[in-house]
Amino acid sequence: MKFSEYPFHIPNIEKVQKDLAKLIESFKNAKDANVASKVMRKVTNYVDDVVTDAVIISVRFSQDSRNEEYTKAQEYVDHHFPYLSAQLNEYNKLLVASPFRAELEKIWGKYLFKMIEVSLKTFDPSIIELMQKESMLKNEYSKIMAGAQIKFDGEIYNLSQLGKFTQHKDRDIRKRASAASIKFFEANDKEFGRIYHELVQVRHEMALKLGFENFVELGYLKLGRVDYTAKEVAGYRDQIYREVAPLVHKLYKKSLKRAGIKSPRFYDLGQDFADGNPVPAGGTDYLVKAATKMYDELSPETGEFFRFMVDNELLDLEARAGKRGGGYMTYFPRYKAPFIFANFNGTAHDVDTLTHEVGHAYQGYESRNIKISEYRQPTLESCEIHSMSMEFFAWPWMESLFDDAKKYRLSHLEGAIKFLPYGVAVDEFQEGVYTNPHMTHEERCALWRDIEKKYLPIRNYKGAPYLEKGGFWIRQAHIFSSPFYYIDYTLAQVVAFQFATEMWKDQTKAWKKYVKLCRLGGRYPFVELLEKAKLRNPFVEGNVKRVMGPLKRKLKELETIYEAK
């Protein structure tokens, strides 16, 4: 079934609750583990069906946040689903207290029950109204961002469309486009500050009601982090500060020199070459056609998967007015189908986004037949391994996606390394915010600027007082929508670098290892998943340094290849 044929159906929550109540009662009355397990299967299938309807609504709302039907449907889901969570919470209590638990663990796995125990710590009916308010505030932020109409050189652009001008090889165009973008954030600064302040208060109140000191521990548990804590993350951030931040500073100086920029400003930092950054060899249709050939050649599995995505309209890639910014992959359980959402704007980021989201979607496709829904997808830092590794597995086909593939590979590896200090800076900022939840908007901005200076001293905001005061973080949507998620990208990047290093030695061997990881789905938490896949754990002291060694050698090789072209 094509995505356009998927029914747009708003779940009737009252009916859903009645249906679930009957199933839960059946579980209570189960006479043995076999009967209880059959009821669990029915609950899983039923919830998958309801979730599918909710995901379709979410995607439609992302595609056009101005559409009144989609907006009302999303508001309905946001308002009523917390009540569904309350009902499932009661069911989960029955699961962990079941007299047949030992037998059920043999059938369903111990990790499922561990996940349920964690989820029970993150919910109570007393926080339903707070959950509803949180959803409302997140949608407020998304609608303001999606509704941006920025005047530039006589045309109107949204933030995604403006991106190609902020990356333009002409410095004056970059400067003016960046100024236009900043003007949008300045104009909405009070509203953004209010929304985030209210989000922080709501989340802090949730934490207090659930018995936590602040939102930090609750935020970790909501992300399913069962085998590491904020202490391990702080140690990892320190590794990035010591081992990567100095290298990144050198990489920026080198790439800016290569680009012929002597006194760099913030709008210059994305420039890597004097004749402009690599750009895709064609538009969206061209890239999809080239990607189809690429995935046909990568493996039979990826060829089958990508053609399934294209044939069933499971790619929405073009930026347009009213469309939510950014990119993501989501999954429709009923149809066993992943879906990719993006905002192409004619830059190399289009290829990065496509290969990145394809990595997510390929894992979803490989795990589609896992019957236990909780095991189909791992925790988010593990999910990002699939996506970031796929970016590197696509390297051998870059000649078909770029006119200058040598330039792209060098820029891509440099960019992946440059990202790490920024990613951990976002995490350190959020930890500071949630351990001090009553800061003012101005204090949060000052905190961000201090952290930014620590990890990214290269950023020069001369001529941009809004950013100098610390306004840059507001454009990072994850800070509003998914607290503590962002560092997952950096953890996964350190792991993806390991796949890249193995790929450069033996593509076939590395690919088999990657497919095995995808097929494990979410059967294990992050640290255990790394052990199963024989990958280095970023939290272990010294591992970041060990991973960076081969990358430094590869950078020199790519620089030599580029300079000799």
Q: Which helix (H) or strand (E) holds 337?
A: strand 337-344
The proportion of the chain whose per-residue pLDDT surpasses 70, expressed as a percent, equals 100
Contact criterion met (CB below 8 Å) for 552 and 247: yes
Residues 6+ apart with CB under 8 A from 125: 86, 89
For residue 339, list its beta bridge partners. 330
Res 42: pLDDT = 98
Q: What is the pLDDT of residues 346-399, one digit of tens each?
A: 999 999 999 999 999 999 999 999 999 999 999 999 999 999 999 999 999 999
Q: Could you tell me the pTM of the whole model?
A: 0.93
Residues of the chain with pLDDT under 70: 565
pLDDT recorded at residue 321: 87
CA 273/CA 559 separation, integer angstroms: 12
pLDDT value of residue 564: 82
Identify the CA nearest to 413 among candidates 486, 348, 507. Answer: 348
Distances 136 to 83, 193, 208, 330 between C-alpha atoms, Å: 15, 15, 20, 21
3-state secondary structure 429-479: HHHHHHHCCCCCHHHHHHHHHHHHHHHCCCCCCCCCHHHHCCCHHHHCHHH
| Alpha carbon distances (Å) from 101 to 28, 93, 106, 172 | 13, 12, 9, 66
Q: Which residues of 505-533 are buried (b: 16+ CB within 10 A; e: fewer)?
A: eeeeebbebbbebbebbbbbbbbebbeeb
Q: What are phi and psi of 73, to 5 degrees?
A: -65, -40
Residues sharing a CB contact under 8 Å with residue 28, sequence separation 6 or more, in sequence order = 94
Query: What's the token pair of residue 132?
Result: 């509803």
- Cβ neighbour number for residue 403 with a 10 Å cutoff: 12
Contact predicate 287/306, CB 8 Å: no
Return the domain boundaries, the chain: 3-121, 284-412+486-563
* CA angle in degrees (0–180, nearest 5) for 30-36-38: 125
pLDDT for 210 equals 97
β-pairing verdict for 337-344 and 315-318: parallel
- Give the pLDDT score at 565: 66
User: What's the length of the chain?
Assistant: 565
Class of the CATH-defined domain 284-412+486-563: mainly alpha
Q: Among positive and negative, which fits the CA dihedral 420, 425, 430, 436?
A: positive
Helices 159-166 + 171-187 axis angle, to 10: 150
Query: Token match 């030695």: residue?
Result: 505
**What is the rounded CA–CA span in Å between residue 156 and residue 173?**
15
User: CA–CA separation, 227 vs 232, rounded Å?
Assistant: 10
- In the numeric block, which tokens belong to residue 256? 């800016």
Q: How many CB atoms lie within 10 A of CB 156?
A: 12
